Amino acid sequence: MTVIVLTHCPEGLRGFLTRWLLEISPGVFIGGPSARIREALWSEVCCYAGQGRALLAHSADNEQGYAFETFEHKWEPIDHEGVTLIHRPHQRSKADRRKGWSKTAKRRRFGKS
């Protein structure tokens, strides 16, 4: 089983994938091609995705029973003791951002009255 998810990719790439996979929702393709065809499809997706993002998930002979790859995603798969996990970069919220010193704190710190 193979699943490819495209986001913000050219329409031509979606048409290309429909030759081998079934588009069950806009940008979501599913099918059962051989490993050789899957690798060829993924290389074409990476070549022609443009400014878009892509995700490939397929069945594999490992502990999890599946494997996945990403293209131009902020979240990246990492190997942790033989298990593939998603590394999600930390994004600071607006409340966490430090806006700097208040005017009163600046006066105290720099000795201005």
CATH number at residue 73: 3.30.70.240
Strand-pairing partners, residue 7, are: 53
Helix or strand run (H / E) with residue 39 = helix 35-48
109 located within any domain:
no
57 located within any domain:
yes
pLDDT band at 2 (very low <50, low <70, confident <90, very high): very high
Provide the domain limits for residue 81.
2-87
Q: What is the pLDDT of residues 75-84, one digit of tens each?
A: 888 888 888 8
What distance in Å separates the CA atoms of residue 96 and residue 81, rounded to the nearest whole number?
32
7 located within any domain:
yes
What distance in Å separates the CA atoms of residue 46 and residue 38, rounded to the nearest whole number?
12
What distance in Å separates the CA atoms of residue 84 and residue 64, rounded to the nearest whole number?
8
Q: Based on the structure, what is the number of domains in the chain? A: 1
Q: What is the pLDDT of residues 51-77, one digit of tens each?
A: 999 999 999 988 888 998 899 888 888
100 located within any domain:
no
Say what the pTM is: 0.74
101 located within any domain:
no
